[in-house]
Chain A
Amino acid sequence: MASTDIVSAGKAQRNQGRSMSGKKRARTSWLERYSALLVAAMLIAAWQILVPLSGLSAFVLPTPLAIATRMINDAPLLVAHLYVTLFEVIVGFGMGVLVGVPLALSIFYSRPFERAIYPILVGLQTVPKVSLAPILVLYLGYGWAPKIVLAFLISFFPIVISTVVGLQSLDTNLVNLVRSMGANEWQTFFKLRLPAALPNIFGGFKVAISLAVIGAVIGEYVAAERGLGYLQLQANSLFDTTLNFATVVTISLLGVILYYIIDVVEARVSYKRDDAK
Chain B
Amino acid sequence: MNTIQTTGAAVEISHLSKVYKTREDDDVVAIERIDLQFEPGTFVAVVGPSGCGKSTLLSMLAGLVSASTGKIAIDGDAISRPHPKIGVVFQSDLLLYWRTVLDNILLPIEIKRLDLSKFRTRAEELLEQVGLKGFGKKYPSELSGGMRQRVAICRALIQEPGLLLMDEPFGALDALTREQMIMDMQSMWLRVQNTVLFITHGIDEAVFLADRVLVMSPRPGRIDLDLKIDMPRPRQWSKVHEDKVYHGYVRQIRDIFEAKGVLVAH
- Chain A interfacial positions (CB closer than 8 Å to B): 1, 8-9, 12-13, 15-16, 19, 171, 173-174, 176-183, 187, 191-192, 195-196, 270-271, 273-274, 277
- CB of B107 closer than 8 Å to a CB of A: yes
> How far in angstroms is the closest Cβ of chain B from A11?
9
The answer on a CB contact under 8 Å between A274 and B90 is no
Q: Is the interface of A mostly helix, strand, loop or mixed?
A: helix
Q: List 7 A-B contacts (CB under 8 A).
A: A12-B99, A12-B139, A174-B94, A177-B88, A182-B81, A182-B84, A270-B98
The answer on a CB contact under 8 Å between A271 and B98 is yes
Q: Which residues of B contact A177 (CB under 8 A)?
A: 88, 90, 94
A261→B64 CA distance, assembly (Å):
42
Interface residues of B in 90-122 (CB under 8 A from A): 90, 92, 94, 96-100, 103, 107-108, 110-112
Of A178, A196, A271, the residue contacting B111 (CB under 8 A) is A178
Interface residues of B in 39-87 (CB under 8 A from A): 59, 62-64, 81-82, 84, 86
- Chain B interfacial positions (CB closer than 8 Å to A): 59, 62-64, 81-82, 84, 86, 88, 90, 92, 94, 96-100, 103, 107-108, 110-112, 137, 139-142, 165
The answer on a CB contact under 8 Å between B103 and A8 is yes
The answer on a CB contact under 8 Å between B64 and A181 is no
The answer on a CB contact under 8 Å between A274 and B140 is yes
A100→B124 CA distance, assembly (Å):
42
The answer on a CB contact under 8 Å between A181 and B90 is no
The answer on a CB contact under 8 Å between B97 and A274 is yes
In the complex, residue of chain B having the shortest beta-carbon distance to the beta carbon of A192 = B96
A181→B100 CA distance, assembly (Å):
18
Q: Which residues of B contact A176 (CB under 8 A)?
A: 59, 62, 64, 88, 90
The answer on a CB contact under 8 Å between A8 and B99 is yes
- Given A12-B139, A180-B63, residue A173 in contact with residue B94 (CB < 8 A): yes
The answer on a CB contact under 8 Å between B97 and A181 is no
Q: Which residues of A contact B139 (CB under 8 A)?
A: 12, 15-16, 274
> How far in angstroms is the closest Cβ of chain B from A15?
8
A135→B75 CA distance, assembly (Å):
69
Q: Which residues of A contact B99 (CB under 8 A)?
A: 8-9, 12
In the complex, residue of chain B having the shortest beta-carbon distance to the beta carbon of A273 = B97
Q: Which residues of A contact B108 (CB under 8 A)?
A: 181-182
A19→B63 CA distance, assembly (Å):
40
